[in-house]
Amino acid sequence: MAGKERSILGTVIRTLVAYVLIVGLYILTTYLSYLTYSTNLQTAKKVTTQLGKLFTQVLAHGPLAIFFHNLALATMMSLPFIGPGNTVLITVNTGRAAGIIAASTSNVSLSAVGLTMTIVMTTLLPHAILEFLAYAIALENSITLTLKILKFEISRKDLYIYFLKYSLSVVLLLTAAFIEYAFIISLNSI
């Protein structure tokens, strides 16, 4: 296998590993947050109301508001050295919010269904897959550039590839934002 093909395959494998780790951490955090807040519904409902207000404000500005929010997250994840830590913090906070929402909206008799639906809706819908993939590319990008810097092996080509992968994550996030916005609008019309 040629060096270029091996490099592309390595990038794909590292990105898929990052994808699995991010989604796994998100699901674990959602579940733990759900367990924590399902016993304290008053707090969960209060936090959900605050998140709902924020969500309504974002939606009022259209899909570009979703895009710029997610772009800010992906940018923080793609930064050399601090990207992995940012990824963990962002993923944990997002999972925490999803778990709180699931806890506050679940009927006691349907709690497992509510949690399952929350996880499915936030990980398996097309926009979610694109977002998680963009975040995985950002994380892989951060780690790769960090290692190149630490080894003093960074070149113009490495920076070009870094910005190329960053641009790919931007395109994925823009696509995801429009899909997510259309999905939310279609849910609101039901």
Q: Which residue is listed with tokens 């975040």?
A: 135
What is the residue range of 66's domain?
Answer: 12-188
Rounded to two decimals, the pTM is 0.91
User: In this structure, is residue 90 part of a structural domain?
Assistant: yes
At 81 the pLDDT is 98
User: In this structure, is residue 6 part of a structural domain?
Assistant: no
User: In this structure, is residue 109 part of a structural domain?
Assistant: yes
Residue 189 has pLDDT above 80, yes or no: no
User: In this structure, is residue 4 part of a structural domain?
Assistant: no
Rg of the chain over Cα atoms, rounded to whole angstroms, equals 18
User: In this structure, is residue 19 part of a structural domain?
Assistant: yes
Q: Which residue type, as a one-letter code, is found at position 143?
A: I
User: In this structure, is residue 33 part of a structural domain?
Assistant: yes
What contacts 122, CB < 8 A, 6 or more positions away? 26, 30, 98, 128
User: In this structure, is residue 7 part of a structural domain?
Assistant: no
Mean pLDDT, the chain, whole residue set: 90
Q: Which residue type, as a one-letter code, is found at position 172?
A: L
Structure tokens at 31: 């579940």
pLDDT digits (tens, 9 = 90+) for 84-122: 999 999 999 999 999 888 888 766 545 677 788 889 889
d(CA 164, CA 169): 9
Contact between 98 and 105 (Cβ < 8 Å): no
pLDDT band at 168 (very low <50, low <70, confident <90, very high): very high
User: In this structure, is residue 5 part of a structural domain?
Assistant: no
